[in-house]
Every structure is written in structure tokens, then in C-alpha cells.
Amino acid sequence: MPVLEWLTKDIDLKTSFLVPYRVLKPEPDLGYGNPDVPNMLIQGDNLEALISLRPSFAGSVKCVFIDPPYNTRSAFAQYDDNLEHTKWLSLIYPRLEMLRDLLTRDGSIWVSIDDNEAHYLKVVMDEIFGRANFVANVLWQKRTSPDARLSLGAAHDHILVYARDIRETRFNKVPREDDTKGFANPDEDSRGPWASTDFTAQGWRPNQMYRITTPGGKTYDPPGGRCWANVEPAFKTLLADNRMWFGRTGTSRPRVKHFLSESEGITTWTWWTNKEVGHNQEAKIESKELFGDGNAFDTPKPERLLRRIIELATEPGDLVLDSFLGSGTTAAVAHKMGRRYIGIENGEHAETFCAVRLRKVIDGDKGGVSEALSWKGGGGFGFFRLGDAVFDEYGQINPKVTFDQLAAHVWFTETKAPYMGKATTPYLGEEDGIAYYLLYNGILGDRRPDGGNVLTRQVLTDLRAHNGPKVIYGAGTRLSSERLVNLGITFKQTPYDLKVR
Ligand SMILES: C[S@@+](CC[C@H](N)C(=O)[O-])C[C@H]1O[C@@H](n2cnc3c(N)ncnc32)[C@H](O)[C@@H]1O
């Protein structure tokens, strides 16, 4: 497959292997609301943060939305948007790789971008996600009128959409409420507003060629070249259920009623107008309402745009991730929509915009999509910063790393799956018939620094039994290789056998 080449690409492909693996340090004073809700706001460089999230969240994120710097050569109040083109590619490539690994098999990634980098981004994303997993290039109409300063100004941004695995990914329909034009209730039907469609179909089918008499006494045969849309018994059922419409006088040609309350929603396409999902100006107004006139975020997205994406790509309870969080739009909308979320932002505005905004959301903020979603408040989020590196420069485990942090890492290294829950014993769990154990930080109760970290006969008797192969991580073993083989144990030495990625 043809790929994009740039000067530092070879180095950029290895970047994520060189970045230290850090633990996430909670900042309880900056979180808000219900502490049991697993939503996370992380301040720090997103490559480091994504690497830290891998052991717990690989394969768990249903929808990634990112709105990275577009490289417009502008300096915004909150961040600089002027990278040399190669540097921009170096920024985006390793982060997209990490994001791909966090997606569920049926997950999707949505990346908003403009003409400065869109076409390069498409090629890079083809390479990382696979051309076959390209879903669409959504054109979002971001302006309501042309920019008078430019002779050919841009009206749209691109939103590149890729599936993690196109065979698994399905998108939802968009709720009707976005488009209720044409629905009314002229006969005051208790099922609410409805729209009607013609009750005919193309062609000639003998059992769909009957005569219909309307309630007003008029008779109709199918028009030339067409038949009725259904066979006579089905028509009678619809009639008895008051689902046929013959106009206010009861004498017009038959039509079928479709109730808004029964509608599954509408399918969308790649042209998203500002009327449907908002525009840049709307986003700016939302930001001013949140942060005050002189303090709006420079490049926010409108909440309606995020609502559309989250609606299409997720169900309530699914995990949404934005690693270029800006002023926090994705997290705020995901919160109001009952999705779990992780937001990452390296600027000071993680605290001054995102956390402030999420607190307002939890307190029942009325702006953006709140009214449409009948948002009343509630929930919570935790605030995190990037903490200590798990391994020091010599590859030794940093003693500040806790047992459960290393356990999540061991589990991910072995199974490539996130570790659910909090490990409190050496037995971490079983996968495909293999049991995994970690001896670290005196987990067996011996408080001496290395106590219990070495696999001895005594330690082995203390470990939870497993009738099958075992993988045991520890600082060393006193058991002979022969004995290990006889016991079905693969021993792995920390830190040497613990690959960071
Ligand atoms: C275009 S803004 C996102 C705006 C956001 N969609 C909103 O609605 O407010 C891009 C954001 O990415 C952040 N950013 C850039 N590089 C980053 C990095 N390496 N790690 C984390 N955040 C980064 C910038 O600070 C900026 O806030």
C-alpha cells in the first residue's frame, strides 16, 4: 500500500516506545461530584497519558473524537497552532496509533480537521487504521456565510471517520427530534404527531390490486403502473388500527401514518449543515456563556456537533475519549448524554476551562445541548495528572509504583486486555486457561522491600492454586528450571521481562 513519507518518520514510528510509562496521579481536590463515577479528566501530554491508559483501557473505548490543532499558523490565546508540517505529522502519527489500540473492536474514531492537513491526515489514517476501515469524510458546515476577507473562504471542516474493524462497527440513527418537519397530528391521534406516505408501490402484483373504499365513501384503484403498498389483509389491519389517512374529509387517496413516537430515527449522510449541528459562532457563544465574554475559548466545537457524533457512535454507558480536549466540549456532552468519558488536555485550561465546565455540567448547566437532553445535573469526574514513571532510566521499577499499578501493567503485557478492578493479591486472574501472578512490593505481607517478591517453595504454597499453566512474575526464583517445568510454571523476572509496550 502506498504510504506517506517524511523526513523524521522512522523516528516518529518509534516515539511511543521511548516515552516513559507513567502512572496517573489523582488530584482529589480538582475532581467534582460523585467520586464513584469513572469519568477522567487528565492534564498532561496526550501521548504519555494514552500510554498510561493502555493497561487499563486497551480495547475499551467505543468512540474517540479528536479535534487536534489544525496547523493554521495561528497563535491562539490557549495554544499555539503553528507547527512545521513534518512536526505536525510527528505529533499526530504516534497518538493515532495509541488511540487505535484503545478502541473496542466495534469502536470508531472521528477526527476533525481543515484543509491545511486534511489530505495528509487521510493518508496517515489509512496507514494506521487500514484503508478498508475508512468510513467517511463528513463535511461539517462550520460557517453560516462566506468570510468577506477571503476570495474563496472555507465553509466546512472535515471529520474523518474510521472504524477499528469495519466488519464490526454499526452506527445508530439520528433521533427524529433533530428533524421533525412534516410531523403533525390533525386527527388528534393519542400516539402523537405523525407524517404520512403514499400507500402505493411500483409494479403490478395481483394480490395488491384490490379496490379501496375510503371512510367518506370514495373508491380508489391503484394508479397506472402501480399497486397498493400491501396486501388487503395488511391494509385492513392498518385501517382498524387507525393507521390509514384519507385526508381531513375522509375522501382523499389512501396514505399510511408514521408516528414520531415509533420512529427509530433517521439515517444521516456526510453533509452536516450548521442548522443541524451548529457552527463555529454558536460554539463561541456557548463558550462565552460558560466562561464570560472576554474569556471564551478560541477554537471550541459546538455541543450539537459532539452530540451528533456521540449519538451515532455510542450507546449510554459507552466510553468516549478525547485526547485534545480544549475547553472540554466532548466531555461535557458525553456527560450530559450518560456516556463515560476520558478527556486529556495538556494546557493550563485542563483546570481553568475543562474542570470548570464539567463542574457546571454536574451542577445542572443549562447551555449547549442541555435543554434538548433535559439535562438536570448529577454525576462526577476525577482529575488526574501524570505521575511517576514506572521504570527508571535503568529500567528498574520505581519503588513508588503501587502493587495494583504494576499488576494492571503485567496483565496488559500478557493478555493485551485491560485489567478490570483493583489487584490486591498475587493472583491476578486467568485467561485462556493460564493463571497470572505477580510478586511485588511485599504483597504477601512481608514488609521488607523485597520480601515475598522471590518465588520460593514457601511462597508457592501461599499462592492461589490453579490446575493448569501459570505465569509468575517476581524479582527472582529459587526453584530450579526443571521443577518450574514440572509444575507448569513460566517464571518471568521483573523488571526485565516486563515490556512497557
Ligand atoms: C482545537 S483545540 C480542541 C478544542 C475542543 N474540541 C473544544 O471544543 O474546546 C486543540 C487542543 O489540543 C490541545 N493539545 C495540543 N497538543 C496536545 C498534546 N500533545 N497533549 C494534549 N493536548 C494537546 C491544545 O492545548 C488545545 O486545547
Convert the pLDDT of each residue in 1-16 to its tens digit: 888 999 899 998 888 8
For ligand 1, residues with CB inside 6 Å are 45-46, 67-69, 78-79, 297, 299-301, 324, 326-327, 329, 344-347
Convert the pLDDT of each residue in 15-26 to its tens digit: 887 888 888 888
Q: Which residue from 12, 282, 324 has its CB within 8 A of the most atoms of ligand 1, so it is best to mutate? A: 324
pLDDT score of 450: 53
How far are the Cα atoms of 114, 181, 408, 451, 484 from residue 71, in angstroms, in the given order? 9, 39, 36, 53, 56
> What residue has cell string 474514531?
109
- The Cα–Cα gap between 416 and 248 comes to 64
Q: Ligand 1 centre from 75 Cα, in Å?
A: 13
How far are the Cα atoms of 150, 242, 425 from residue 307, in angstroms, in the given order? 31, 35, 42
- The Cα–Cα gap between 133 and 497 comes to 34
Classified as helix, coil or strand, 445 is: coil
pLDDT score of 177: 64
Convert the pLDDT of each residue in 249-305 to its tens digit: 999 999 999 998 888 788 899 999 999 999 999 999 999 999 998 899 999 999 999
pLDDT score of 79: 85
Percent of the chain whose pLDDT exceeds 90:
69
| Band (453; pLDDT cuts 50, 70, 90) | confident
| Band (444; pLDDT cuts 50, 70, 90) | low
Convert the pLDDT of each residue in 103-114 to its tens digit: 999 999 999 999
Q: Which atom of ligand 1 is nearest to the CA of 347?
A: 25
| Band (496; pLDDT cuts 50, 70, 90) | confident
β-strand pairing of 61-66 with 319-322: parallel
* CA 347 remoteness from chain centre: 21
Q: Are 58 and 418 in contact (CB under 8 A)?
A: yes
Classified as helix, coil or strand, 420 is: coil
Please say whether the dihedral angle defined by the alpha carbons of residues 265, 269, 270 and 271, taken in this order, is positive or negative. negative
Please say whether the dihedral angle defined by the alpha carbons of residues 57, 59, 65 and 66, taken in this order, is positive or negative. positive
State yes or no: pLDDT of 493 exceeds 80. Answer: yes
**462-469, long-range: CB within 8 Å, 24+ apart, which pairs?**
463/426, 463/427, 463/437, 464/425, 464/426, 464/427, 464/435, 464/437, 466/427, 466/430, 466/435, 468/433, 468/434, 468/435, 469/433, 469/434, 469/435
Question: What residues have CB less than 8 Å from 322, skipping those under 6 apart?
Answer: 64, 65, 66, 67, 330, 331, 341, 342, 343, 344
Task: Give the containing element (helix H, strand E) for 412.
Answer: helix 403-415
Q: Which atom of ligand 1 is nearest to the CA of 68?
A: 10
pLDDT score of 336: 97
Average pLDDT over the chain, rounded to whole? 91
Q: Which atom of ligand 1 is nearest to the CA of 326?
A: 27
Alpha-helical (H) ranges within 262-402 are 274-277, 280-291, 303-313, 329-336, 349, 356-362
- The Cα–Cα gap between 39 and 382 comes to 6
Q: What is the mean pLDDT of residues 216-224?
A: 96
Q: Are 61 and 320 in contact (CB under 8 A)?
A: yes
121, exposed or middle or buried, with CB in 10 Å at 0-12, 13-18, 19+?
buried
Convert the pLDDT of each residue in 462-486 to its tens digit: 889 899 999 999 988 999 999 999 9
Alpha-helical (H) ranges within 131-210 are none
pLDDT score of 449: 44
Question: What residues have CB less than 8 Å from 492, skipping those under 6 apart?
Answer: 471, 472, 473, 474, 498
Q: What is the mean pLDDT of residues 342-352?
A: 96
Query: Atom 7 in ligand 1: which residue has the minimum CA distance?
Result: 300
Q: Which residue from 42, 285, 346, 354 has its CB within 8 A of the most atoms of ligand 1, so it is best to mutate? A: 346
Q: Ligand 1 centre from 300 Cα, in Å?
A: 10
- The Cα–Cα gap between 162 and 145 comes to 30
State yes or no: pLDDT of 317 exceeds 80. Answer: yes
Q: Which atom of ligand 1 is nearest to the CA of 322?
A: 6
pTM of the entire predicted model? 0.81
Fold entry, domain 9-110+278-388: Rossmann fold (3.40.50)
State yes or no: pLDDT of 448 exceeds 60. Answer: no
Q: Ligand 1 centre from 349 Cα, in Å?
A: 9
Q: Ligand 1 centre from 148 Cα, in Å?
A: 28
Q: Ligand 1 centre from 264 Cα, in Å?
A: 35
Classified as helix, coil or strand, 294 is: helix
Classified as helix, coil or strand, 108 is: strand
Domain borders along the chain are 9-110+278-388, 180-262, 403-493
Please say whether the dihedral angle defined by the alpha carbons of residues 92, 97, 101 and 105, taken in this order, is positive or negative. positive
What does residue 494 show for φ and ψ, rounded to 5 degrees? -85, 145
Query: Atom 3 in ligand 1: which residue has the minimum CA distance?
Result: 326
What is the DSSP secondary-structure string of 237-269?
HHHHTT-EE-TTTT-SPPEEEEEGGG---B---
Which stretch of 131-140, 309-318, 438-447 has the lowest confidence by average pLDDT? 438-447
Q: Are 336 and 304 in contact (CB under 8 A)?
A: no
Residue type (1 letter), 275: K
Considering only CA atoms, which of 248, 244, 247 is closest in space to residue 235? 244
Query: Atom 5 in ligand 1: which residue has the minimum CA distance?
Result: 326
Q: Ligand 1 centre from 21 Cα, in Å?
A: 21
**Residue count of the chain:** 501
